[in-house]
Structure 1
Amino acid sequence: MGSLSGSSKKLQVIWGLVVVFGVLGLRGVECRKARILDSFEYSAISCRAHSASITDFGGVGDGKTSNTKAFRDAINQLSQYGSDGGAQLLVPAGQWLTGSFNLTSHFTLFLHKDAVLLASQDVNEWSVINPLPSYGHGRDAAGGRYISLIFGTNLTDVVVTGDNGTIDGQGAFWWQQFHRKKIKYTRPYLIEIMHSDNIQISNLTLVNSPSWNIHPVYSSNIIVQGITILAPITSPNTDGINPDSCTNTRIEDCYIVSGDDCVAVKSGWDEYGIAYGMPTKQLIIRRLTCISPYSAAIALGSEMSGGIQDVRAEEIVAINTESGVRIKTAVGRGGYVKDIYVRGMTLHTMKWVFWMTGNYGSHADTHYDPNALPEIKGINYRNVVAENVSMAARLEGISGDPFTGVCISNVTIGLAKKAKKVPWTCTDIEGITSRVTPPPCNLLPDQGPEKIGLCDFPAENLSIDNVEIKRCSFTRNYL
């Protein structure tokens, strides 16, 4: 072959460079294709064998595009892996507008720290379901109720978690409708799990729920952990966490600011709850911080007609909250609240530290049994310090049906400058006290300062405390 001309040599060099950079470019593309989209670890009751992102199913995180179909399609497809190690669905950084969607068993929903689930304000994206059988009646209206944003029923082994990702209920729309009495059905909750077992809800921020935030109901073996809940203090019924007819539940390390009770323990309403007969029992609440000027840090009832038993609360902090622990019941409720153990409360700026009400008169309908009297007994409070309190306690049992076995010990309550002149009011109450300041009412006689350990708190663990938490990983490549 003859020698190349100068121009030919230049073309050859240029072509060679094109080929070299082209190959490098292709390799760069290949590297980008193989580059990890997300890789992280998290704690959960179960790890998963399969992973996907909501973007794999057409999800768009622009805050405007509806992702309801994407979530439903993703979970439907991932449900096939339930018997093959389960699946996890990542919600990446972005704003993901969506209506309600249902979870599946052996499944994890994970929200990236910069992910926001935005609840749709299009009512057509919220189906209407029947009232709960233990309530027999919607809470906002007589008929059905809007399904929750994240919903599941008859499931096992479900995790809803994240790196403190956010679920925004955009509740102002619903609150306005409620105040205007234009709600046809009960407002939706943010997360509701029914008839299910082995549930974890953790490491999330929930804001502006239309109504209750987290509602496990008719379920067992539940862990709610590391949750932040924020709602305007005037927002209606934005309860934080409401375990309802549940067994073996652990709520811990949660921070709640809301317009209603931070934790409300429930088990059905009047004759419907009595007939359903499913109590809430074996409940742990620990390391709770609450701000709720018009409600309680922990409420037991008012819907307690299926019974509430063995509740253990400790290390509770409440600031600018109406009451520390409140028991709410009434004639017609039936059921019981018993074996309640509270220790280690720190309270600042409260209306009442302890409040028991036997005249909480809201009823599902007019068919309740006026002879269905609740049983309230075995209520134990110890090691409580409170400051700037308007009134130490308001304890009102039911005439002919007194609340019994009330025990209060090692309690110091600092009254506010404009506190009520009588710090304790007690009617239809039976119990004992020790080392309580200011001195309690005569119906709670002082047993002497040596009785510092007077009130019970169980020493043995509940089985939910023995659940093994695993270290799980998520690794996701570009498709």
Structure 2
Amino acid sequence: MLVALLLLLALSNAVKTYGQEGEGQCDLKPTLDPRPHSVSIKEFGAVGDGKTLNTIAFQNAIFYLKSFADKGGAQLYVPPGKWLTGSFNLTSHLTLFLEKGAVIIGSQDPSHWEVVEPLPSYGRGTEVPGGRYQSLINGYMLHNVVITGNNGTIDGMGPVWWERFTSNSLNHSRPHLVEFIASDYVVVSNLTFLNAPAYSIHPVYCSYVHIQNVSISAPPESPYTVGIVPDSSDGVCIEDCTIVMGYDAIGLKSGWDEYGIAYGRPTANVHIRHANLKATSGACLAFGSDMSGGISNILVDHVHLYNSHSGIEFRTTRGRGGYMKEIVISDVEMENIYVAFAATGHCGSHPDDRFDPNALPYLNQITLQDVSGTNITIAGNLTGIQEAPFTNICLSNITLSINSASPISWECSNVSGFSESVLPEPCPDLKNSSNSSSSCFSLLGQIGKTAVL
């Protein structure tokens, strides 16, 4: 981490950081200096009438700006208007800036979205075997790239994709709004994301990603839409975000069964703070179920979770392998949540019949502390795997107001841990030995030390 942060401090003139000793990942705030070169998308023939297809204009503009990579980089300015486009790729040392009133609109014609190979850590499309539709805005093996603006909007026009998903008429897996693959020093800020076909922001195999002050939404009926998905990525900060989605608000992932195990890249060193999250049918904070590369060293603090099915949920199943460990979640406010805390070892499907049923996932050292909740139906539903129980689940200073509809406040099986000052009183499985208590406090020190490095 020390080397990583020294590199972060040495970013090019487009992305600088500052922070005081003792601050965490999200306290190393990027400041965006103007690029020395800037052009408007209109200079490349784009028309912002919401009807003209501007894919070639975006492609040509970015191809031109690529020549400024060694001259301090460049900015592509998108003025007010409705800019219809198919999928397009960014380049390194680029800022894509959306002015207030600028809306990039995804075409509803699938032929305007390129079909690409599946991600290697998934082995196939997650929804349909084979390839997948490329995301609307893409970055592949990029360095120092920014998507920002004066609260401009990126609209994926999701309903046409949601209908194809629910009617089983997709030819390929749905696209995302923004995806960065194998890129580093990425900033996404000060924008609104609407109606993603699937995910809104998907950094995968990335390092040093800062997502700040974005608003992301899709309607409650949108199937399996997710806000931000750090996937086999490290050094990620998500802060000051408002996310309202049909399924999960934030989902951490790291690959699918044998493909994720073989790729072997975890999601690690992630900091999430100051977020307002709503997930109609899923979880505000979801870990897994695709976690075969591992998820570790996650810090979440000062989040507000509301009007959702689940507050915080850990998902895995036999055949996943991998691990979820060293996760600290604190300073949480919950309102109108059906299940406050959930963990299951029986969630998710498999990409094919080549997975190893003996690849058992490992869940250990999960700390939840300083949580208050009102109108909660079930405090916790924690169901581990008999051959691989969930261990060292640590709960402290948690007060949940359970509503009258609750059949039972806690349900636990194949789990163990420690609890202190928790109401309603948790399962006996979570009131175990002092060894669990020691592990909890050790984890708190370890996560804090990592944040300071």
Q: 1:227 aligns with which of 211, 214, 225?
A: 214
Secondary structure of the residue that 1:83 maps to in structure 2?
A: helix
Q: What is the CA distance between 1:462 and its match in structure 2?
A: 3.5
The equivalent of 1:29 in structure 2 is: none
The equivalent of 1:182 in structure 2 is: 169
Q: 2:416 aligns with which of 388, 407, 430?
A: 430
- Quick one: higher RCO (CA 8 Å, sep 6+), 1 or 2? 1
Note the residue ranges of structure 2 that are not aligned, 5 or more in a row.
1-28
Structure 2: distance between partners of 1:47 and 1:244: 30
Q: What is the CA distance between 1:296 and its match in structure 2?
A: 0.7
Q: CA-to-partner distance for each residue in 1:309-332, whole Å, 9 max, x for gaps?
A: 000000110111111210000000
Q: 1:317 aligns with which of 304, 307, 312?
A: 304
Task: Give every structure 1 segment of 4 or more consecutive aligned residues whose post-TM-superposition deviation is greater than 6 Å.
Answer: none
Structure 1: distance between partners of 2:106 and 2:172: 17
CA 1:254 to 1:224, structure 2 compared with 1: closer, same or farther past 3 Å? same
Structure 1: distance between partners of 2:157 and 2:419: 46
The equivalent of 1:355 in structure 2 is: 342
Secondary structure of the residue that 1:70 maps to in structure 2?
A: helix
Q: What is the CA distance between 1:234 and its match in structure 2?
A: 1.4
The AA in structure 1 aligned to 2:417 is G
Contact 1:220 1:246 in 2 (8 A): yes
The AA in structure 2 aligned to 1:261 is D
Structure 1: distance between partners of 2:387 and 2:358: 11
Structure 2: distance between partners of 1:399 and 1:229: 38
The AA in structure 1 aligned to 2:428 is N
Q: What is the CA distance between 1:237 and its match in structure 2?
A: 1.7
Structure 2: distance between partners of 1:65 and 1:393: 51
Contact 1:358 1:396 in 2 (8 A): yes
Structure 1: distance between partners of 2:221 and 2:308: 13
Secondary structure of the residue that 2:429 maps to in structure 1?
A: coil
Q: 2:225 aligns with which of 238, 241, 260?
A: 238
Q: CA-to-partner distance for each residue in 1:110-133, whole Å, 9 max, x for gaps?
A: 000110011011211111000000
Structure 1: distance between partners of 2:451 and 2:398: 26
The AA in structure 2 aligned to 1:427 is S
Structure 1: distance between partners of 2:51 and 2:258: 44
Q: CA-to-partner distance for each residue in 1:266-287, whole Å, 9 max, x for gaps?
A: 0000000000000000000101
Q: What is the CA distance between 1:366 and its match in structure 2?
A: 1.3
Secondary structure of the residue that 1:322 maps to in structure 2?
A: strand
Q: What is the CA distance between 1:334 and its match in structure 2?
A: 0.1
Contact 2:392 2:440 in 1 (8 A): no
Q: 2:398 aligns with which of 402, 411, 414?
A: 411
Note the residue ranges of structure 1 that are not aligned, 5 or more in a row.
1-41, 467-479
Contact 2:417 2:432 in 1 (8 A): no
Contact 1:44 1:200 in 2 (8 A): no
Q: 2:277 aligns with which of 279, 287, 290?
A: 290
Structure 2: distance between partners of 1:329 and 1:316: 24
Secondary structure of the residue that 1:213 maps to in structure 2?
A: strand
CA-based RMSD of the aligned residues comes to 1.8
Q: 2:59 aligns with which of 69, 72, 83?
A: 72
The equivalent of 2:378 in structure 1 is: 391
Aligned pairs for 1:247-326 within 5 A:
247-326=234-313
CA 1:266 to 1:43, structure 2 compared with 1: closer, same or farther past 3 Å? closer
Q: 2:158 aligns with which of 166, 171, 182?
A: 171
Structure 1: distance between partners of 2:261 and 2:241: 31
Contact 2:252 2:287 in 1 (8 A): yes
Q: CA-to-partner distance for each residue in 1:293-344, whole Å, 9 max, x for gaps?
A: 2111111100000000000000110111111210000000000000000000
Q: 2:179 aligns with which of 165, 185, 192?
A: 192
Q: What is the CA distance between 1:419 and its match in structure 2?
A: 1.2
Q: What is the CA distance between 1:367 and its match in structure 2?
A: 1.0
Structure 1: distance between partners of 2:128 and 2:390: 32
Secondary structure of the residue that 1:237 maps to in structure 2?
A: coil
1:147 is the counterpart of 2:102:
no
TM-score relative to the length of structure 2: 0.90
Q: 2:429 aligns with which of 428, 432, 443?
A: 443
Contact 1:143 1:185 in 2 (8 A): yes
Structure 1: distance between partners of 2:191 and 2:151: 4
Contact 2:275 2:302 in 1 (8 A): yes
The AA in structure 2 aligned to 1:411 is I
Q: CA-to-partner distance for each residue in 1:217-273, whole Å, 9 max, x for gaps?
A: 001010011110110111012100000000100000110111111100000000000
Secondary structure of the residue that 1:459 maps to in structure 2?
A: helix
Q: 2:47 aligns with which of 60, 78, 92?
A: 60
1:135 is the counterpart of 2:135:
no
Structure 1: distance between partners of 2:189 and 2:163: 29
Q: What is the CA distance between 1:56 and its match in structure 2?
A: 0.8
Q: What is the CA distance between 1:446 and its match in structure 2?
A: 7.1
Contact 2:343 2:383 in 1 (8 A): yes
Contact 1:434 1:446 in 2 (8 A): no
- The alignment of Structure 1 onto Structure 2 pairs a total of residues equal to 420
Q: What is the CA distance between 1:137 and its match in structure 2?
A: 1.1
Q: CA-to-partner distance for each residue in 1:177-222, whole Å, 9 max, x for gaps?
A: 1111110101110000001110001111000111111000001010
Secondary structure of the residue that 1:262 maps to in structure 2?
A: strand
Q: CA-to-partner distance for each residue in 1:52-105, whole Å, 9 max, x for gaps?
A: 000111111111111101000000000000000100011000000011110000
Contact 1:306 1:335 in 2 (8 A): yes
The equivalent of 1:214 in structure 2 is: 201
Structure 2: distance between partners of 1:216 and 1:224: 10
Q: Which has the larger radius of gyration?
A: 1
Secondary structure of the residue that 1:443 maps to in structure 2?
A: helix
Q: What is the CA distance between 1:459 and its match in structure 2?
A: 2.5
Structure 1: distance between partners of 2:207 and 2:272: 15
The AA in structure 2 aligned to 1:91 is V
Structure 1: distance between partners of 2:236 and 2:402: 34
Contact 1:435 1:446 in 2 (8 A): no
Structure 2: distance between partners of 1:81 and 1:140: 39
Secondary structure of the residue that 1:74 maps to in structure 2?
A: helix
Secondary structure of the residue that 2:238 maps to in structure 1?
A: strand
Contact 2:148 2:191 in 1 (8 A): yes
